[in-house]
């Protein structure tokens, strides 16, 4: 059997599919967040050196992960759109950018709030913090560049180029704590090594990360539906949709 992979690559067929998918991801996000928050703030034990302040990791670490993952996914969609000239891919990239920017900002702000009492400084220019800040600028640059060009096709191409060039920054963020001396600590969770944290803490953090994932998918789908309507407003299927809504 030959599967038609491109069936849902047209906005017309993807629009109703996205509508069906959104509640699933939204509910999953809500359930996982409630479970994750309960484990993080009620069940997880106090840390032996940081006391209660360590609980920042339940928001900070998942947010920082998402900021990097979303960038890679966004750049992949943008690159796909560039290579295949696919409208929907570019729209997906555009839909992901604001969520990525929010998670980056969240990681930076929570880290800063934690840094003052623990390190003794709100901000330091070490490799990890600086590269994460550059990530925020990349997101903002992508959003600004796309919205500053009126022709959507050209906006997509320009944005895709920026997104793809910026991908270099992601491994730099991830490995910065390994490659250089940084004030930021190394990662507690590594491939092929036992995590350096208690099991309940780890569970809380992973549940929160999953909740953030689901939230990202739900919000990106909602946003991409708006973008589809806006960009395809003169297409027949949108017209039919609005007529159907009226009658």
Partner 1 sequence: MAIKARHKRFVLIGIGLALVGLAAMLILNAFQSNMVFFYTPTQVEKGEVPKGTSFRIGGLVVPGSLKRGDDGLTVRFAITDTSKTVPVIYKGVLPDLFKEGKGVVAQGKVGDNGVFTASEVLAKHDENYMPPEAAEALKRAQAQSKTLIMPK
Instruction: Go through the chain and tell me how many residues it has.
Output: 247
Q: For partner 1, give the closer residue by CB, 15 or 54.
A: 54
User: Can you tell me which of 147, 153, 180, 242 binds partner 1, judged by CB under 8 A?
Assistant: 180
Name the minimum Å distance from CB 177 to partner 1.
9
> Which residues within the stretch 133-162 sit at the binding site for partner 1 (CB under 8 A)?
none
Identify the three-state secondary structure at position 51.
strand
CA-angle at 65, arms to 70 and 93, nearest 5°: 5
Q: For partner 1, give the closer residue by CB, 49 or 247.
A: 49
User: Can you tell me which of 29, 32, 39, 57 binds partner 1, judged by CB under 8 A?
Assistant: 57
Q: For partner 1, give the closer residue by CB, 58 or 215.
A: 58
Q: For partner 1, give the closer residue by CB, 54 or 139.
A: 54
Query: Residues 27, 215: contact at Cβ < 8 Å?
Result: no
Is 181 among the residues that bind partner 1 (CB under 8 A)?
yes
Identify the three-state secondary structure at position 47.
strand
Binding part of the chain for partner 1, among 23-31, 147-155, 194-202, 219-227 by CB under 8 A, reads 194-202
CA distance 161 to 232: 23
Name the minimum Å distance from CB 2 to partner 1.
19
CA distance 199 to 124: 31
Rounded to 5 degrees, φ, ψ at 34 are: -65, -50
CA distance 133 to 116: 17
> Which residues within the stretch 73-132 sit at the binding site for partner 1 (CB under 8 A)?
79, 82-85, 117-121, 124-127
Is 186 among the residues that bind partner 1 (CB under 8 A)?
yes
Q: For partner 1, give the closer residue by CB, 84 or 240.
A: 84
CA distance 191 to 182: 21
Name the minimum Å distance from CB 132 to partner 1.
14
User: Can you tell me which of 56, 143, 188, 203 binds partner 1, judged by CB under 8 A?
Assistant: 188
Name the minimum Å distance from CB 31 to partner 1.
25
The set of residues, in sequence order, having a beta carbon less than 8 Å from that of 86 and lying 6+ positions away, is: 9, 80
Rounded to 5 degrees, φ, ψ at 189 are: -120, 120
Q: What is the distance of C-alpha 31 from the center of its chain?
A: 19
The residue ranges that bind partner 1 (CB under 8 A) are 45-50, 53-54, 57, 79, 82-85, 117-121, 124-127, 164-165, 167-168, 172, 179-183, 185-188, 196-198, 201
């Amino acid at each position: 059997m030959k599967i038609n992979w491109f069936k849902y690559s047209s906005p017309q067929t993807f629009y109703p599919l996205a509508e069906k998918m959104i509640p699933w991801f939204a509910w999953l996000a809500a359930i996982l967040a409630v479970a994750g928050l309960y484990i993080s703030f009620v069940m997880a034990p106090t840390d032996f050196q940081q006391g209660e302040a360590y609980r920042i990791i339940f928001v900070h670490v998942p947010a920082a992960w998402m900021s990097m993952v979303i960038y890679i996914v966004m750049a992949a969609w943008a690159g796909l759109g560039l290579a295949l000239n696919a409208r929907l891919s570019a729209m997906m990239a555009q839909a992901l950018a604001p969520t990525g920017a929010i998670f980056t900002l969240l990681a930076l702000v929570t880290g800063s709030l934690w840094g003052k009492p623990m390190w003794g400084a709100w901000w330091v220019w070490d490799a990890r913090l600086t590269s994460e800040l550059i990530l925020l600028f990349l997101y903002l640059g992508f959003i600004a560049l796309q919205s500053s060009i009126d022709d959507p096709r050209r906006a997509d191409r320009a944005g895709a180029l920026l997104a793809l060039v910026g991908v270099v920054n992601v491994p730099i963020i991830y490995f910065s704590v390994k490659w250089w001396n940084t004030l930021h600590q190394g990662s507690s969770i590594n491939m092929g090594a036992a995590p350096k944290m208690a099991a309940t803490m780890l569970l809380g953090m992973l549940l929160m990360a999953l909740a953030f994932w689901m939230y990202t998918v739900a919000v990106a789908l909602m946003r991409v539906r708006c973008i589809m309507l806006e960009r395809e407003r003169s297409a027949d299927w949108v017209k039919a949709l609005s007529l159907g809504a009226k009658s």
